[in-house]
Amino acid sequence: MSRLRPRLKSLPVLVVLAVLALGLSACAHLKPESLQLSQPAGIGPVKAHLELCTDIGPDENCGPNEDEGQSQYMLAIAVPKGSVAPQTITAVPKGAGAPIAFTRNEEVTKALQDLAQEFEGEGTYPPEGTESAGYLSSVFDEEKGEIREWSIDTEFGLPSAADGGSFGGPFSALVVFGWRKVDGTHPADRPVDCYERVGMEDPTAGCGESAFAEIGTSDLKIAPPAPASAFVGGKVTIAYPFDFASTVSPPPGFGLSASSTLPQATLKLSSTNFAPGTLDLNTHRSPAETRSVTVTVPKTAKPGAYDVTLTAATGAGGSVSQVATLKVTKPKLKLGGVKLNKAKGTATLSVKVPSAGTLSVSGKGLVKVKKKVKKAKKLKVTIKPKGKAKSLLAEEGKARVKAKIAFKPTSGIAVVKSKSITLKKN
């Protein structure tokens, strides 16, 4: 639930504005106690709801409009710095009547700042730690004698914390509402002024109605993992760092799911849920954690770059996702030169392997060789004859053999190459 306060203690200049607003003649007014904030999805944007109505009587109910002619309305909403404000806002009529369309116009914010400076010592606008989104409506035709009400529902994206991490709240919204007359001498494209008067008894513009609300919020950010790679037929585990903050008690929990653009890939989560740990009283953050996805690459996979997406979702429907890039390749075996040892009748073959795994060399008439490696490196393998190849080498001084060189990565399909070598002996 939002906590509504009619004025901010840190901004007493709005009390002055309220006094100035008493003389304003306007169709639409902020309906008392109507401003409410919520985070309906448990994480993500904050929804702001407020209501407008025609002239408000002593009982704070909407009364008939006493005005006619044309008007424009000014709306300013101060929210935490970095929040994402909408470009347009629409006041939707409750029942009959026309909507009121608002468009971003920072002259409204500037007009409030100028007015706050004019009453130096009474406060500042926007309040410290916030920034203002100003809006000016299109020209609106007043309906004298009619009772009208409007509702405004809009969303503000959560900002990031000062260090770029998750925003734990609370989230506040200070709304200031104003009006100005539009006629032949007061065009709709004139500069915005919050203290526009032609005599104290006949103001043509003013900003003075205000409301304040604040709620606790929750925010989860999943940082991009480092690029991952795997061989065809292999597997890799991708870790996703979680950053959670909240001023809600209890904070929401999350169900986790994973998906990939790699056809027929098998995905295994380290956990199917995320329950935030104890929140820090100062930062409102839970301890840093990770969740991982282990991807098994099919043996039929084509080399290329694929997405692996981890999604965390609340029970209320909010979700946040992060995408990791997985590069799938076939292991490559590079054969180098051959150096003969004519004294022994052997040869040394240079082989470059792509990763940890097992290299084996075999073939008809050859002594089998097997070597295990812990990382990509260049190896030297001795090609040594046996059986008929050894006898032929002793009789004729040379023997042609065909070596089968196979490498099986620790994770992935094997790669095989062959090389013909003529052994010689003095």
Structurally, the chain folds into a number of domains equal to 3
pLDDT value, residue 206: 85
- Who has greater pLDDT, 250 or 124? 250
The pTM score is 0.83
Query: With helix as H, strand as E and coil as C, how does the chain read?
Result: CCEEECCCCCCCHHHHHHHHHCCCCCCCEECCCCCEEECCCCCCCEEEEEEEECCECCCCCECCCCCCCEEEEEEEEEEECCCECCCEEEEEECCCCCCEEEEECHHHHHHHHHHHHHCCCCCCCCCCCEEEEEEEECCEECCCCCCCEEEEEEEEECCCCCCCCCCCCCEEEEEEEEEEEEECCECCCCCCCCCCECCCCCECEEEEEEEEEEECCEEEEECCCCCEEEECCCEEEEEEEEEEEECCCCCCCEEEEEEECCCCCEEEECCCEECCCCCCCCCCECCCEEEEEEEECCCCCCCEEEEEEEEEECCCCCEEEEEEEEEEECCCCEEEEEEEECCCCEEEEEEEECCCEEEEEECCCECCEEEEECCCEEEEEEECECHHHHHHHHHHCEEEEEEEEEEEECCCCCEEEEEEEEEECC
- Least-confidence region, from 66-70, 152-156, 351-355, 356-360: 66-70
pLDDT value, residue 312: 98
pLDDT value, residue 123: 64
Residues 349 and 313 in one domain: no
What average pLDDT is seen over the chain?
90
Residues 312 and 340 in one domain: no
Residues 349 and 306 in one domain: no
The yes-or-no verdict on residue 127 having pLDDT over 60 is yes
The yes-or-no verdict on residue 118 having pLDDT over 80 is no
pLDDT value, residue 11: 44
121 falls in which pLDDT band (50, 70, 90)?
A: low
Provide, rounded to the nearest whole percent, the portion of the chain with pLDDT above 70.
Answer: 91
Out of 309, 329, 349, a domain closes at 329
Out of 329, 350, 382, a domain closes at 329
**Stretch 21-45: mean pLDDT, rounded?**
83
The yes-or-no verdict on residue 16 having pLDDT over 60 is no
pLDDT value, residue 162: 86
Out of 215, 245, 262, a domain closes at 215
The yes-or-no verdict on residue 90 having pLDDT over 70 is yes
Residues 243 and 291 in one domain: yes
**Stretch 149-160: mean pLDDT, rounded?**
96
6 falls in which pLDDT band (50, 70, 90)?
A: very low
Range of the domain at 248: 218-329
Residues 266 and 347 in one domain: no
What's the CATH code of the domain at 277? 2.60.40.10
Single-letter amino acid code for the residue at 33: E
Residues 77 and 200 in one domain: yes
- Who has greater pLDDT, 361 or 145? 361
What's the CATH code of the domain at 191? 2.60.40
Residues 279 and 173 in one domain: no
156 falls in which pLDDT band (50, 70, 90)?
A: very high
Provide, rounded to the nearest whole percent, the portion of the chain with pLDDT above 90.
Answer: 77
Residues 308 and 352 in one domain: no
pLDDT value, residue 12: 43
Residues 122 and 232 in one domain: no
Residues 325 and 343 in one domain: no
47-61, 203-217, 305-319 — most confident range: 305-319
The yes-or-no verdict on residue 18 having pLDDT over 90 is no
Residues 180 and 276 in one domain: no
Residues 92 and 186 in one domain: yes
